[in-house]
Amino acid sequence: MKKVTGIGGIFFKSDNPKTMNEWYAKNLGLATSEYGTTFEWRQADNPSKTGSTSWCAFPQDTKYFNPSTKPFMINYRVENIAALVEELKKEKVTIVDEIAEYNYGKFVHILDPEGNIIELWEPKDKSDQGNVVK
């Protein structure tokens, strides 16, 4: 079974997300909004399929990364999230929550051995555009 297929997003805590977005827009040319930015791309093995990777600064007091105490979270794109979660349970990986479904895909959060929160995202076909930030 194919597991991780790519990076869905990079999310990190910031003292001032608005200022951080402005800095990245001015100095590095990122087209930011209040939700950061989204990089769109085409799949190498099938250029007719598109994908996206999000980048977003969160406020320091966000609870979105809980239970991790780390200031960042990586979102990995996956295929067949339900089957992957079953495999992870067999390996005794900490599953933080239940699989949640939105109009842009399915999500679940796990912890790695050092307590880093990891967000797994199974994008929906046709709606794999735009931010994955909820």
16-28 residue pLDDT tens: 999 999 999 999 9
* More confidently predicted of 128 and 113: 113
Mean pLDDT of 40-52: 89
Mean pLDDT of 93-101: 97
Do 96 and 37 meet the contact criterion of CB atoms below 8 Å apart?
A: no
Residue 97, SS3 per DSSP:
coil
Task: List the domain boundaries for the chain.
Answer: 4-123
Q: Does domain 4-123 correspond to CATH entry 3.40.50.300?
A: no
- Whether the full predicted model's pTM is greater than 0.75, yes or no, is yes
Do 110 and 67 meet the contact criterion of CB atoms below 8 Å apart?
A: no
73: Cβ–Cβ under 8 A, 6 or more apart, which residues? 11, 12, 64, 65, 116, 117, 118, 119
Mean pLDDT of 69-81: 96
Portion of the chain with pLDDT greater than 90, in percent: 82
